[in-house]
Structure 1
Amino acid sequence: MVGPARPAFVLFGSSIVQFSSGQGGWGATLATLYARKADIFVRGYASWNTRLALKVLDKVFPKEDPAPPSLVIVYFGGNDTALPRENNMSSHVPLDEYLGNMTTIVARLQFTYYDRDGMHFTEKESQVVVKEILKTIKEAEWEPKLHWQDMTSEFDDVSYMDDDEKETIV
């Protein structure tokens, strides 16, 4: 751990999560908004589906984690419903299995499930995702509040200059 403890947000899913940390991506935007307020961990696995996610769920989210995340956003979809392709790690997961896998993941994490649909987002589409995520966080009746505007920034109470330095400049 580095510095004081902050709330931890985990983005968990397939390539839609892995690629979210790029320029203009929804994960990168969340990391920018929550700078000095929360740590954003991206755990995205390109070409994965819910079947593969279930195999590593306890490794990504250990049951005895002394500091479990404050928020987990789970996004799987495209690789579960995509047709099977030759030489591709992903395989078609029937809709009923997909829904069952998502239910298992959410039950294990004990978080509310918000369904999203689509594949890789453009910057503009990422903005829509961020807006919806922030709306959901703001409307949630959680304590402590996890909306970025409701959180204090780390070291807000520390001036970059002490009083003696300020007097020499003035």
Structure 2
Amino acid sequence: MVGPVRPQLVLFGSSIVQLSFSNEGWGATLANLYARKADIFLRGYSGWNSRRALQVLDQIFPKDAPIQPSLVIVYFGGNDSVHPHPSGLGPHVPLPEYIENMRKIALHLKTLSEKTRLIFLSAPPVNEEQIREALSDKLGKPNRTNESCRIYSEACLELCRDLDIKAIDLWTAIQRRDDWLTECFTDGIHLSSEGSKIVVKEITKVLTEAEWEPSLHWKSLPAEFGEDSPYDPVSPDGKATVNVSELCFGIEN
């Protein structure tokens, strides 16, 4: 453990989370925004469904941990939504079980601490043709459809309304972009940099609008060691230094 201790933001989910630090992903963007302000913990597991996540929930989020996360962003649903395989193997989870698994995950996380906040991401859409072209040699005949993603997305959103949890409708948000089919994915499932920009935009909206105390918006958090220093860059007039602790170079958010 290195210090000082900062707020912890945990990204928990399947490959949409695991890969969020690649391809100029949404996780990397969040880590950049929260530099010197909060620590981003990546807990992404490619191929996982809600059933497998529930099995290890206590190991990833122990209730007796001395420091609990300030925010957990959760994504499961896309793998759950794939069509069942005749063998019974594979990631498919029936919709009622998916809803119950997500309920248990949410309730566990809500009890970690009074100030642990949650944002759930619903299943994003998929480009079925791109999946066939990019992944059929690795995963066989495609068994994931945009319609099944919609069903699981809506179930996640309804659950979040029932539990009063902040939720982001990725299935709808991504499809608002006219060229989403060609620009938002790397392989029909996983997000390109353009797809990740939409995720960041939606998370930003939640962080801006949420009436959380304290606020978890990066602009509301103090920069670590943010005091003025004579070792900062010298101002153009040469009479003082410029405090750069709050500057986010190359970031528009």
Give the TM-score range, shorter chain.
Answer: 0.7 to 0.9
Question: Taking structure 1 as reference, are residues 160 and 30 closer, same or farther at Cα in structure 2, changes over 3 Å only?
Answer: farther
**Counterparts of 1:4 and 1:90 in 2: how far apart (Å)?**
43
1:24 alignment partner in structure 2: 24
1:136 equivalent in alignment to 2:206: yes
CA contact (8 A) 2:12 2:42 kept: yes
* Deviation at residue 90 of structure 1 after TM alignment: 3.9
1:122-142, Cα deviation, whole Å (9 max, x unpaired): 111111111111111121111
Cα pair 1:49 1:76 within 8 Å, conserved: yes
State whether residues 106 and 113 of structure 1, in contact with CA within 8 Å, keep that contact through their aligned partners in structure 2.
no
Query: What runs of 5+ residues in structure 2 fail to find an aligned partner?
Result: 111-116, 125-188, 233-237, 240-253
2:72/2:118 contact within 8 Å kept: no
Aligned counterpart for 2:190 among listed residues 120, 136, 139 = 120
- The offset of 1:161, in angstroms, is 2.0
What is the aligned partner in structure 1 of residue 101 from structure 2? 101
Question: Secondary structure at 1:80's aligned position in 2?
Answer: coil
Aligned sequence identity (%)? 56
Residues 34, 16 of structure 1: alpha-carbon distance in 2 compared, 3 angstrom cutoff: same
TM superposition score normalised by structure 1: 0.87
Structure 1, gaps ≥5 residues long: none
Q: With structure 2 as the length reference, what TM-score do the two structures score?
A: 0.60
Pairwise CA RMSD of aligned residues?
Answer: 2.3
Aligned length in residues? 163
Runs of 4+ in 1 over 4 A off after TM superposition: 84-87
Q: Which of structures 1 and 2 has the larger relative contact order (alpha carbons within 8 angstroms, sep 6+)? A: 1
Residues 8-46 of structure 1, C-alpha deviation per residue, up to 9 Å, x if partnerless?
000000011000011310101100000000000010000
